[in-house]
Chain A
Amino acid sequence: MTETGSKVQDRMDLILSRLRTVAAPLAGLGLLLAAAAILRAPEEEAQGIVQKIFYAHVASAVSSYLSFFITCAASVLYLWKRDRAWDFLALASAEVGVVFCSAVLVSGPFWGKPIWGTWWTWDARLTSTLILWLVYVGYLLLRPFAGEGERGARFAAVVGIVGFVNIPLIHFSVKWLRTLHPKPIVLNAQGPQLPPEMMTTLYITLGAFTLLAITFIAVRAEIERLRDLASAMRRHATKGEAR
C-alpha cells in the first residue's frame, strides 16, 4: 500500500483529526495551568528555586519516551502491514520525540550547573539520553537519503524500532550503575517521594506536555499525509502532460 486512501489511513485520519480538535485546546489550557502550578509550587529546601526545572524536565522526558514508543509501535505495524499510514505516524512521532528530547538535554544542564557544579558529565543517564537523541536525529536524517518510497520507510522503521531499545536502558541506568543523576523519585518501589503540592504540579505539567506531544504528532502526521497526496497529484499531473 503506497498511495493515499487505505482503510487504515481513513481510520487514522478520523482519530488524528479528533485528537487535534480535543488535544490542542486542552494542551493550551494545561500549559497555562502548569505555569501557574510551577509558580505556586513550594521551593525545595536544599536546592532552592532551581529545583523547579524538574517539572518541565521530567515532563519533556516522559513526552519524548511516549513519542518514541509510538514511533517503535508504528514502525512494527508498518513492517507488518506495509501501510504508509503507519510510516507517517512513525515519522511524525520521531520528530516530536526529538523536540522533547532536545528540551530534556537543554534543561538538564541549567539544573546541573548550580547543583553539581558542572553543565555536563558523561554519566550513564546523561550519555544514554544523548545517544537516544542522536539515534532519532539519525532516523530523521536517514529518511531523505534512503529515498522517498518504500525502501526509505523500511530502513527508517528498523532504526525506529532499534532506537527504542535504549529507553529501558536510560530508565534503569540510575539503578544499575553508579550515576550522578538523581534516582527516580516518582516511579520507585516505595511510591512517589515528593510532597503532595510538588506531586500535583508534576502531574499537571506531565498532562500538559503529553497533550502537547499528542497535538504535535497529530498535526505532523497530517502534514505527511498531505505531502503524499501532493506527490500523487504531481505524478498524475505530469503523466497527463506527457500524454
Chain B
Amino acid sequence: MKTNLPYLLWAYALIALLLVGYAASLVRRMRQVAAELETLAAAIRARASRSP
C-alpha cells in the first residue's frame, strides 16, 4: 500500500498548484486594474486642471 503514496502526493501537489496559481493570477489582475485606474484618474485630473 505504501507504493500508492506517490499517487496521493501528486494529486495533492497538482490541486495545490492549481489553487495557488489561480490565487496568484487574481492578485496579479487586481494589481493591474488598480494601476490602470490610478493612471486614468491621474490623466482625467490633469486634463481637468488644464481646462479653463
Contact = CB atoms under 8 A, between A and B. Distances in A.
Contacts of B15: 56, 60, 103, 106-107
Given A49-B2, A103-B19, A107-B15, A237 B43 contact: yes
A157 B13 CA distance: 34
B26 A230 contact: no
Contacts of A113: 7
Interface in B1-52: 1-2, 4-5, 7-8, 10-12, 14-15, 18-19, 22-23, 26, 29-30, 33-34, 36-37, 40-41, 43-44, 47
Given A49-B5, A233-B40, A220 B11 contact: no
Question: What bracket does the count of chain A residues touching chain B fall in?
Answer: 35 or more
Contact of A230 (B1, B2, B40, B47): B40
A110 B8 contact: yes
Interface in A21-73: 43, 48-50, 52-53, 56-57, 60
Contacts of B12: 53, 56, 107
A227 B26 CA distance: 13
Contacts of B41: 233
A234 interface: yes
Given A226-B34, A233-B40, A114 B4 contact: yes
A99 B14 CA distance: 12
Contacts of A230: 33, 36-37, 40
A234 to B, nearest CB: 6
A106 B15 CA distance: 7
A241 B29 CA distance: 27
A61 to B, nearest CB: 12
